[in-house]
Structure 1
Amino acid sequence: MATTTVRTPAERWPELARIPHPPRRLPVLGDVIGSSLTTPVQDSLRIARELGPIFRRKIFGLEVVFVTGADLVTELADEKRFVKYVTNAVQSLRAVAGDGLFTAYGNEPNWQRAHDILAPAFTREAMVRYHPTMLAMAHRLMHVWDGHAQAGTPADVTGDTTKLTLETIAHTGFGYDFRSFERDEPHPFVTAMVDGLSAVIKLRVATLPLLGPVLARPIRRRFLAHRDYLNATVDDVIRERTAQGDTRTDDLLGLMLNTAQPATGERLDPLNIRYQVITFLVAGHETTSGALSFALYYLAKHPEVMARAQEEVDRVWGPDGDPGYEQVSKLRYVRRVLDEALRLWPTAPAFTRAARQDTVLGGKYPMRKGASALVLVPALHRDPSAWGEDVERFDPDRFLPERVRARPGHAFKPFGTGERACIGRQFALHEATLVLGLLLRRYNLHDHADYRLTVSERLTLMPEGFTLIPSRRKPTTPPAAPGTPEESTPAPAPTGCPVHHAP
C-alpha cells in the first residue's frame, strides 16, 4: 500500500470526535501534560487504563488512534480489511534500514522479493541447523556467568543477553563474530545502533519551528556518524563473505547473495542486502535479549516459578549434556514463562494497521480507506475481557493449552500480525527457550539488589539497570510421571505471527 504521503488519522476518520482523548489537551502542543518523551509506550499504557479499548493522542499536531481491546484488534488483524501501515516513526528508521523487511512499504518490490528469498532460512530444517551455534553462544554466556557465580558478583542481565543474541544472529545469519564476550563494554555496533536510533527520534522532534533547525544540526551530525559506522560494519560482514567466493546458501547472507526470488528470478541488489543485514542484526537481537531479560526478571521475583521451571528442565533434559533440538520444545513450562513475560512486556510494543477500503471498526467507528490505528500491544495483553481482572499478576499457567483455546485468537500479539509479522519468530522462541533452560539448569538466580523494574524504551522495551547474582546449582533428576498432560500435550503455538514459509 502506498504510504509516501503522511496523513494523520484526523484527516481520514470522519467521526474522530467520538474517540476519547486525555483531558487537559492544549492548543498546538496537544496531550503533553503528564507525558514523557522518553517513555511514550508507558504513558500510552497508563492512558489506556483510563480511557479504554480505543483512544487518541495528539502531540505537536500529529494525532494517533490507539487500539487496545482484543475484539477491535481481532478486526484489525483481518488481512482482507486491513494492512500494515508504515508509521512516521518507522519511516524515520528508513534512514538506517531503507527498504528492509521491517521498514519497507508494502508496495516496494524488495519486500516481497526479500521475504521469498529468505523464507528457507526460517524452516524447521534451518532451525535444526542453527541449534548447535545457539548452544555454542549460550556456552559463551555461561562461561561469563560462571565467573560471577564463583566470585559472587552481579551479572548485567540485559548487557549479557544482548551480547548473546547479537552473537547468535551474527553467527547463524552471517557467519560473523563480533567477539562481544571479549569486551567489557557493548560492541560499538550496539552503541551506534542505540545512539543512532535515538538520534532519529530526536531529529523528528527537532523539525519543530523556530529552535528546531538549530537543535537538529548537532543531532544530525551524530546520527550520520552512527549510520556510517553501521553501514561500514555491515559492508565488512558482506565483504568478508564475498571475498571468499563462498556460494553456500545455508544462512541469511548466503541466500541473499546467491539465490533469486523463485517466482521472478530476480535478486536483491547490494544496497538492499545491506539494509536487510542491518535489519536482522538490529531486530534479530534486540527483541530476543529483551524477552530473555524480562523472563529472568520475573523468575528472580517469583522463586516458586523458578523452582518449578528448574524441576522441569532437570526432569526433561537430565543433569548434564547439551539438549538436542527436539528437547527444547519439550520444556512446556519454561516456554509458558517466556510467553507470560512477553505478555506483560512485549519487546516490540506496537504495530499499526490501515484500512484497505472504507470500513467501520467495532460497528461504530467509520474509517476511510488509508485511515490507521496503532495497536498498543502491552495494553492489549492487559485487556481484562481476554485475560481476566488480575492482568498485572505474573502467571505462566495462563498459557496452558485449554486457557489459550478459551481466549480470543488475537489477544496475544508479541510478534505483530499478518503477512508483515515477524519472520524470525520461531528462531527467537527456540533461542530464548534454549537459553532459559540452560541457565535454569545451571544456576539459581538471586535478586541481590531487590531490583525495581524500570523499563527503558529505545527501539524495543528492555529492563534498565537489571543485575542478578547467579550461583551454581546441582540439577536433580526426579522420576518423570508417565502420561502427564505436561509431557503428552504439544506446546501450543501462540497466535499472532503467521509466517509464510515452507513447511
Structure 2
Amino acid sequence: MAETRNGLPKGFRSAEHGWPELDRIPHPPHRLPLLGDVLGASRSTPLQDSLRYARQLGPVYRRRAFGKEFVFVWGADLVADLADEARFAKHVGLGIANLRPVVGDALFTAYNREPNWQLAHDVLAPGFSREAMAAYHPMMLDVAARLTGHWDRAAADGRAVDVPGDMTKLTLETIARTGFGYDFGSFERSRPHPFVTAMVGTLTYAQRLNTVPAPAAGLLLRRASRRNAADIAFLNRTVDEIVRIRRREGGGNGDLLDRMLETAHPETGERLSMENVRRQVITFLVAGHETTSGALSFALHYLSRHPEAAARARAEVDRVWGDTPSPGYEQVAKLRYVRRVLDESLRLWPTAPAFAREAREDTLLAGDHPMRRGAWALVLTAMLHRDPAVWGEDAERFDPDRFEAGAVRSRPAHVFKPFGTGARACIGRQFALHEATLVLGLLLRRYELLPDTAYRLKVTERLTLMPEGLRLGLQRRTAPAPAAGPVREQGDTAPDESGTAERPEARCPVHRADA
C-alpha cells in the first residue's frame, strides 16, 4: 500500500499550510461547509470541471474538497515561474501518489527524496538515444502493419473502426515489443488484453480516490478497492512473466528490459533491484502506451473533422516518402506538417493534462503570491494551452500552423508542456513523438478518414484523457499505398552522434502472450 496518513499520501500538505495569503486567491461561489466546492462538480470529469472554473476565476484559483484546499495555476507567467528548476521541483500530487501502490518509487511516481528515481533515470536514459530510437523504428513499422491489416479488413467490409481501442492496441504492442521483447497479441483479440483492462482499472481507481473523503475511502470504495488489488496483482504477474522469460532466454539486444536487468549505474555501479525492475516495467507499459494512444486518437479526430488539414498532411507524406514501401527512420522527422497536427492536438487535449510543482524554499510566485517551502500547485496544462494571452482569442480552434517555426519562436518559453517540465519531464517523449508521427503518416498515406457526422467529441478521464466512443469510417486511397513493414532498404540506416550506423534490422526476439 502507499504510505498514507488519514487516507492521504504521507506528507500531503493542504494549501492553507503553504500559501500565507491564500485568501487573496479566488474560489468558486457557493462553497458548502465541510464539503467545500462541490456544487456542480462531476466525479467522472474533474479535469473538465477544473477548466470550467479556470475560465470563470482566472489564471490562479483554489478549490476546497472535504476539508482540503488545492491551488490551480494556468496563467503563462505563473507557469513559467513554476518551471524554474532552481526554485521549484516536481510534486507527486494526489492522483499520481494514488498510483504508488501500483508502481511504488518508479520514474513517474517517485518522491524527489527517493534515490531510485535518479538511479533508474541514469540507467535507462540511453534507451531513448538516437541510436536506440533508430533500432526501435523497424519494430514500430511491424506493429503498424498489424494495425493497417486490421483497418484494411474493416474498410473492405464497410465497417467503422474503434479509434481509441485500436490506438491502445497499437501503442501497447509497440512499447511491449521495443522495450521488452513481448507480444500481447492485441490485434488477434476481439476484446482488450486483460493487461489493458487491469491498467484502466488502476488508473480509474486512482482518480476515484480523489472524489471521496480520504478517511472514508476504505468504506465507500470497498468493492472498488478489492478490484484494484486484483488489478495490481494481475499487472505484477504479467510483468513477472515477462522478466522470467528474459532471464531464462536472454536475447534482448540492449532493449529497456536488458538495461534494467544488466546495466549498472555508470558512476556508482549500483543496479536496479528486482522489485524496482517490476515497477519500472509496469510504468513503461502503462505510461508508454496510454498517453500516446490518446494523442493519436485526438489527432485522428481532428484530421477527420478538418479535411483541409488532412489533405495538406497527406500531400506532405506523399511528397516526402514518395513510393518507398517503408519509410526510414530519418524520413519521419521530415514530416513537419504532420508533426504540427500532432502538436496542435496535444495542445488542445494534452493526454497527461496536468502536473504539480512544489517550492524548494520559501519563495514568491511570479513576484506576487508567497509560498512556503513544500507548498505546491497543480498546473492545468490543458488550460495553459488555451491561455488567450498566448494563443489568441481563437485558442479553442484547431490550427496546426500555430506550430509553424516562426510562430513557435514568437511565443514565450514554457507555454507548451504536454510532457511536463524540468528534470522529471517524460523520459520517453521522443519515443512517443516518433511513434505517433510515423503512425499518422502511414494512416494518412493509406486511408481517407470518414467522420460520423453525428459524433460530438466527448472526453473520458482516468488521470489521462481519451476521446470516448470515437469511430471513423475508412476509404482506401485510389492509388493504394505500400503496406508498412520492416525497413530493409540499404541506406535507411541512421547514424548516431558518433557517426556509426545502427542496423535497422537489429531487434529483440518477441515472445507471445498466452493470457
What letter is aligned with 1:454? K
- Counting matched residue pairs gives 474
- Residue of structure 1 equivalent to 2:69: 63
1:224 paired with 2:229, answer yes
Cα distance in 1 between the residues matched to 2:33 and 2:452: 48
Q: How does 1:146-157 map to 2 (within 5 A)?
A: 146-157=152-163
**Which one of 421, 432, 452 corresponds to residue 417 of structure 1?**
421
In structure 1, give the amino acid aligned to 2:137. H
Aligned to 1:464: 468
- Which letter does structure 2 place at the counterpart of 1:319? D
Answer yes or no: is the 8 Å Cα contact 2:95–2:463 preserved in 1: no
List per-residue Cα deviations over 1:120-176 (Å, max 9, x = no partner). 100000000000000000000000000111111100000000000000000000000
Q: Which residue of 1 aligns with 2:43?
A: 37
What pairs with 1:135-146 in structure 2 (closer than 5 Å)?
135-146=141-152
- Which residue of structure 1 aligns with residue 369 of structure 2? 365
Q: Distance in 1 between matches of 2:152 and 2:142?
A: 15
Q: Structure 1 residues 321, 65: CA separation in 2 closer, same or farther (over 3 Å shift)? A: same
The farther-off stretch of 139-148 and 312-321 is 312-321
Q: d(CA) in 1 for partners of 2:19 and 2:205?
A: 31
1:389 aligns with 2:393: yes
The one of 283, 294, 306 equivalent to 1:279 is 283
Tell me, what secondary structure is at the counterpart of 2:138?
Answer: helix
The answer as to whether partners of 1:260 and 1:266 remain within 8 angstroms in 2 is yes
* Aligned equivalents of 2:254, 2:126: Cα separation in 1: 9
Residue number in structure 2 paired with 1:329: 333
The range that moved more, 82-91 or 423-432, is 82-91
User: Aligned partners of 1:212 and 1:172: how far apart in 2?
Assistant: 38
Distance 1:267 1:97, change over 3 A: same
Bigger RCO (CA 8 Å, 6+ sep): 2
Q: Is the 8 A contact 2:446 2:480 kept in 1?
A: no
2:332 equivalent to 1:338: no
Partner residue in 2 for 1:261: 265
Cα deviation, 1:26-47, whole Å, max 9, x if unaligned, reads: 1111110111011010000111
Whole-angstrom distance in 1 between the partners of 2:284 and 2:28? 37
Residues 388 and 18 (structure 1), Cα distance of their counterparts in 2 relative to 1, 3 Å cut:
same
The CA deviation at 1:197 is 2.4
Change (3 A) 1:216 1:476: closer
Partner in structure 2 of residue 428 of structure 1: 432
Which whole-Å CA distance do the structure 2 matches of 1:322 and 1:249 have between them? 23
Q: Is the 8 A contact 2:99 2:202 kept in 1?
A: no
1:266-289 deviation per Cα after TM superposition (whole angstroms, max 9, x unaligned): 000000000000000000000000
The reply to whether residue 179 of structure 1 matches residue 185 of structure 2 is yes
2:54 equivalent to 1:48: yes
Structure 1 residues not aligned, in runs of 5+ = 478-503
Identify the range of structure 1 (86-95 vs 272-281) with the bigger mean alpha-carbon deviation.
86-95
Give the drift of 1:414: 0.2
Query: Paired residue for 1:402?
Result: 406
Moved over 3 A (4+): 200-209, 211-214, 474-477
Counterpart contact for 2:128–2:428, Cα < 8 Å: yes
Aligned residue number for residue 117 of structure 1: 123
Q: What residue is the counterpart of 1:374 in the other structure?
A: 378
Q: Give the C-alpha shift of residue 223 in structure 1.
A: 1.1
Q: Secondary structure at the match of 2:221?
A: helix
Check whether the contact 1:192–1:226 (CA below 8 A) recurs between aligned residues.
yes
**Quick check: 1:194–1:459 contact (8 Å CA) kept in 2?**
no
Amino acid at match of 2:220: L
Please tell me the residue identity of whatever aligns with 1:110.
Answer: N
Q: Is the 8 A contact 1:347 1:461 kept in 2?
A: yes
Matched, 1:306 2:293: no
**1:215 CA displacement:** 2.5
Kept after mapping to 2: 8 A contact 1:39/1:456 = yes
Q: Distance in 1 between matches of 2:409 and 2:324?
A: 35
Match for residue 13 of structure 2 among 7, 11, 18: 7
Alpha-carbon distance between aligned partners in 1 of 2:211 and 2:397, rounded to the nearest angstrom: 36
Task: Mark the CA change 1:208 to 1:70 in structure 2 (over 3 Å): closer, same or farther.
Answer: closer
CA distance in 2 between partners of 1:451 and 1:475 (Å): 29
> Cα gap change, 1:117/1:212 in structure 2, threshold over 3 Å: closer, same or farther?
closer
Deviations 1:170-197 (A, max 9, x none): 0000000000000011110000111122
RMSD over aligned Cα atoms: 1.6
Cα displacement (A) at 1:200? 3.2
Q: d(CA) in 2 for partners of 1:412 and 1:245?
A: 41
TM-score for the superposition, normalised by structure 2: 0.90
Matched to 1:396, the amino acid is: P
